[in-house]
Copies of this chain bind each other. A is one copy, B any other.
């Protein structure tokens, strides 16, 4: 890296699940929304489409964010549980295995009545499970939002190659956790981990079912949170931090814990913000303020808005259109003059017509000093296809931004 060269800052805005397919009147929500500020950024910027993983591959939110933040998920993906645990502020050490967890309701035959226990969690119930020890393995457990929890196994010879306990459907019996690999000695760690998981699930029922909190819930006619379902095992390994890889300090502003977890995993500073929820009721104003403030100490700010994705999952075209218009007016309008490179994109498409993530590429625009303006005047999936960026991949974005920012490492001489 050259010395004494001016460095620039950059803001990366990811609107989760923003990409879509044409539906109502042949338009995508992004085409139907009122977005004068996004369009202005497109007009002054360079536009394109981005395959977050590769064409047609449907990204999860976790792998997608790794890729966009410059970490090839085929190399760096540790499993979802790791992000959930980090997002819940749990401490992870090399070799720990982490899970996403749910409070759920089962009957006395272990049949699932509600896999979310009426969407209601309890700090007291979580505390009753936290600190258990099974087979010399310490179990850390915490309740995050609503029924959602995270669990960490701390011990030796553990593996993330074990199956989910969560069946993802009511009516069926709680599944046994089983090893996913059983080749020779490789199976040992997996078997040990699966046994610990199964024993924990059994104990969770014993401890929770007659817990005073659940007695009270039953008395009030609520579903008891009487078992823990686990899924998404992840094995923690340290990865080189963004600062180390790209040379600049990075901040994350996000509501939902997954994105905070990804940010922590990559060594970013997670900025606490009041009133951000990861839902449509999130406080966009506070996010903007936090982003502008974050630039005082950081050269790179990653700003995440979740609600566009939720509208896609709900199949709510009008809701997605409204959310996009709100982001344009309440957020984009205020970051336009931040004096940094601005990149705006999505982690994947979540078309309202199919209510799930899709492999459609997402639109991307980059705006700032020296970008090759391409004559595109609208920020949407169709206009972007004719832009000067052409079609790039998720892992290309950080090298492109780093180059613009002046934090480049030349390959060769």
Contact indicator B388/A390 (Cβ below 8 Å): no
Complex Cα spacing A64 to B410, Å: 11
- Given A23-B370, A370-B351, A390-B49, also A58-B410 (CB < 8 A): yes
Q: Is the CB of A260 closer than 8 A to any CB of chain B?
A: no
Q: Is the CB of A60 closer than 8 A to any CB of chain B?
A: yes
The 5 closest A-B pairs by CB, nearest first: A60-B412, A56-B399, A63-B412, A390-B391, A56-B400
Q: In this complex, what residue of B is CB-closest to A56?
A: B399
Q: Is the CB of A119 closer than 8 A to any CB of chain B?
A: no
Contact indicator A412/B61 (Cβ below 8 Å): yes
Interface residues as binary, A348-388 with B (CB distance below 8 Å gives 1, 0 otherwise): 00010110111110000000001111110000011001111
CB neighbours of A256 from chain B (8 A): none
Complex Cα spacing A309 to B61, Å: 42
Q: In this complex, what residue of B is CB-closest to A392?
A: B55
Q: Which of A88-96, A193-201, A322-330, A401-409 contacts B (4 or more CB under 8 A)?
A: A401-409
Q: In this complex, what residue of B is CB-closest to A370?
A: B21
Q: Is the CB of A22 closer than 8 A to any CB of chain B?
A: yes
Complex Cα spacing A409 to B58, Å: 7
Q: In this complex, what residue of B is CB-closest to A409?
A: B58
Min CB distance, A287 to chain B, in Å? Answer: 24
CB neighbours of A73 from chain B (8 A): 411-412
Contact indicator A396/B61 (Cβ below 8 Å): no
Interface residues as binary, A181-222 with B (CB distance below 8 Å gives 1, 0 otherwise): 000000000000000000000000000000000000000000
- Given A390-B390, A390-B391, also A411-B21 (CB < 8 A): no
CB neighbours of A21 from chain B (8 A): 370-372
Can you name 24 A-B residue pairings with CB atoms under 8 Å?
Answer: A5-B354, A21-B370, A22-B372, A22-B373, A23-B370, A26-B373, A28-B372, A53-B411, A54-B399, A56-B397, A56-B399, A58-B408, A59-B411, A59-B412, A60-B412, A62-B412, A232-B413, A354-B370, A374-B382, A374-B385, A375-B382, A385-B388, A390-B391, A391-B392
Interface residues as binary, A30-65 with B (CB distance below 8 Å gives 1, 0 otherwise): 000000000000000000010001111111111110
Q: Is the CB of A398 closer than 8 A to any CB of chain B?
A: yes
Complex Cα spacing A412 to B53, Å: 11
Q: Is the CB of A2 closer than 8 A to any CB of chain B?
A: yes
CB neighbours of A60 from chain B (8 A): 410-413
Additional A-B contact list (18), CB under 8 Å, known A59-B411, A374-B385 = A5-B354, A21-B370, A21-B371, A22-B370, A28-B372, A49-B390, A55-B399, A55-B400, A57-B411, A58-B409, A73-B411, A359-B399, A372-B385, A375-B382, A385-B387, A385-B388, A385-B389, A386-B386
Complex Cα spacing A351 to B392, Å: 21
Q: In this complex, what residue of B is CB-closest to A81?
A: B413
Q: Is the CB of A115 closer than 8 A to any CB of chain B?
A: no
CB neighbours of A390 from chain B (8 A): 49, 385, 390-391
Min CB distance, A29 to chain B, in Å? Answer: 13
Complex Cα spacing A396 to B280, Å: 35
Q: Is the CB of A80 closer than 8 A to any CB of chain B?
A: yes
Contact indicator B382/A388 (Cβ below 8 Å): yes
Q: Is the CB of A300 closer than 8 A to any CB of chain B?
A: no
Contact indicator B58/A403 (Cβ below 8 Å): yes
Q: Is the CB of A77 closer than 8 A to any CB of chain B?
A: yes
- Given A392-B391, A401-B56, also A62-B413 (CB < 8 A): yes
Min CB distance, A315 to chain B, in Å? Answer: 13
Contact indicator A411/B58 (Cβ below 8 Å): yes
